[in-house]
Amino acid sequence: MWLQGGDDCPPGVRFETDPSLPPEAFRLTGGKGGCLIESADEAGRMYGGYALLAKLALGGTPETISMTNAPAVSERILNHWDNLTGDVERGYSGKSLFFKNGEVSYDPQRMKDYARLLASVGINRVCFNNVNVTPLAARLITDKLGDLAQLAAIFRPFHIKTIIAVDFSSPILLGGLSTADPLDGGVAAWWAKAAETVYKAIPDLAGFLVKADSEFRDGPAAMGRTQADGANVIARALKPYGGKVYWRCFVYNCEQDWRDTKTDRPKAAYDHFFPLDGSFDNNVILQVKHGPSDFQVREPNSPLLGAMKDTAQAMELQVTQEYTGQQIDLYALAVQWEEILSAPVSDTRSTRGLVGQEIQAVAAVANTGDDANWTGHTLAQANLYAFGRLAWDPSLTAREILSDWIGLTFGTNPALREPLLNMMLDSRGVYEKYNAPLGLCWMVNINHHYGPSPEGYEFSKWGTYHRADAKAIGVDRTDNGTGYTSQYHPYLRALYSNPDTCPEELLLYFHRLPYTYTLKSGKTLLQHIYDTHFEGAEDVEGFIETWDGLQPLLPESAYYSVAARLKRQLVNAREWRDVINTYFYRKSGIPDRQGRKIYP
């Protein structure tokens, strides 16, 4: 079922059961005549099959294949932000694959291909609908449930379970109750009934995803209840069926006054959730964004990750490139994710070390849509691939993953693979060079988040301020400032609190510094900003040259579609360069030491 049979099923494959292997794990043993795939369960067979196909496609021969592999976490979740209208929130690859004109609507063959595609990279949970649940989408658990169940049935043979994003105020919206108060008996009974109905239609549903008290969405806080009260009432309804609540921690004051310098948005998730450790039911998973801001190009890891010893957590990444170039600009997220996983949580542990322990699931916002190539930018396919691979095995490097993706997509010819690999590995750093510098974040155009606007968010309500003046920029988040650093392990608190030890790429996330501050390179902070912005735009010219040089080795359609996007990227990079450099020049009055063109 999961292999299409015929052509892509390699000859000489034998399957055997080995109950001693962990769930979903597989052992591949190659030999002259073919290959043996052993597993404890059906899912393991499937993953073993895909791994074998990948090995062969990358040039392996059956005799050389020998590997045992088990996933680091049992839940590898893809969250789509698709609306029933067919639009995709933060989607850059066309329209929804699942919904149209208010209905569940899809191409059955393409859907099967999609399920197979996701399974082949190890994804085993899918939420089809947006966390921002519209009244129409709320009905996916009532009158649209039958249609959703049919969609779930397409994914089931690929060992992918469905998650449904639900609205916290569903008892009011759908049930006609006067309250959604989680401590109200009628509300608990409503959720219990809803769960019973949903599990009749989708017996293996993984659970409900909830965005509550977040960006104008209802939640328990409005009723004077805690996040734990809110999550637990739904968790108890799902419990009899083995379901879970994936409760998002993206809770912050989105109506802040920019004059208020005490409230500091990065502190919010920890402040709201850490004190509640131990009060969540054991089928609640707190879904925490990897950083305390919002999927920015550079931010530290959330101090909440791993901090709650008695609460299960999912780390949430964003495959869709909301702040990272919107699938117009090339940005290999694997590089950033490797950095995130390698970042320390203490003097003895890295974030990677939490995966499979405190972090029990990995989730990501999807980058797919109904574009023919799934992801708009052909090379952005590598981001979805990388998410699946890393969620399965967080010890993989970006180099390994991207090299495999290129090999599987375009073949293993080193004349193509090496230059493209280098270009993709560089792409994150290049984007960062022309974007907001040194961890500042939020210098993007408001609402749609593409292109520069240094003060777009500066006087807004979203809690996103860099507070640049004529002499200095950044927010002091140490104990002398907002105190955000105190949320970290003492080792990291000390590291981040001192500008000399703070990783330089995060300097302005944690500190307010003068433009004349000297960096380790000996350059001033301002000169660094000018230099990186000039370099970033030049690097994109280099990407175009590299890509053009690869044209003879590339399929025509991939060549032309990526070439067109690289051109747009260059326009964007130059715009960022000029806007950011001019902004800082106007603020500081300090010229570029190299006398390059900065618009007055």
Binding site for ligand GCU (CB under 6 A): 89-90, 131-132, 211, 250, 294, 322
CA-closest candidate to residue 443, choices 505, 451, 321: 451
Q: Strands 75-82 and 103-104, how do they pair?
A: unpaired
- 3-state secondary structure (DSSP) of residue 581: helix
- 3-state secondary structure (DSSP) of residue 204: coil
Distance from first CA to last CA of the chain, Å, rounded?
Answer: 63
Measured distance CA(68)–CA(20) in Å, rounded = 12
- Is the CB of 131 or the CB of 328 nearer to ligand GCU? 131
Is residue 157 classed exposed, middle or buried when 0-12, 13-18 and 19+ CB atoms within 10 A define those classes?
middle
CA 393 to chain centre: 16
Q: Is the dihedral of CA 105, 111, 115, 120 positive or negative?
A: negative
Is residue 55 classed exposed, middle or buried when 0-12, 13-18 and 19+ CB atoms within 10 A define those classes?
buried
Q: In this structure, which amino acid lies at residue 47?
A: Y
Measured distance CA(497)–CA(512) in Å, rounded = 11
Smallest distance, ligand GCU to C-beta of residue 311, A: 20
- Is the CB of 252 or the CB of 517 nearer to ligand GCU? 252
- Is the CB of 202 or the CB of 366 nearer to ligand GCU? 366
- Is the CB of 317 or the CB of 398 nearer to ligand GCU? 317
Map tokens 């399920």 to a residue: 115
Catalytic residue (choose from 107, 215, 469, 545): 215
Catalytic residue (choose from 213, 229, 322, 432): 322
Given a contact cutoff of 8 angstroms between Cβ atoms, the answer to whether 363 and 431 are in contact is no
Catalytic residue (choose from 75, 181, 294, 476): 294
- Is the CB of 95 or the CB of 349 nearer to ligand GCU? 95
Outline where DSSP puts E strands in 277-331. Answer: 284-289, 312-318
Smallest distance, ligand GCU to C-beta of residue 131, A: 5
- Is the CB of 322 or the CB of 531 nearer to ligand GCU? 322
> Is 322 annotated in the active site?
yes
- Is the CB of 294 or the CB of 432 nearer to ligand GCU? 294
Smallest distance, ligand GCU to C-beta of residue 321, A: 12
* Residue 514: its H or E element: strand 513-514
Smallest distance, ligand GCU to C-beta of residue 203, A: 29
Map tokens 């001019």 to a residue: 582
**Number of Cβ atoms within 10 Å of the Cβ of 14:** 12
Measured distance CA(370)–CA(343) in Å, rounded = 35
Measured distance CA(333)–CA(353) in Å, rounded = 20
Outline where DSSP puts E strands in 103-193. Answer: 103-104, 125-129, 161-166
Smallest distance, ligand GCU to C-beta of residue 289, A: 7
Smallest distance, ligand GCU to C-beta of residue 330, A: 21
Residues carrying an active site annotation? 215, 294, 322
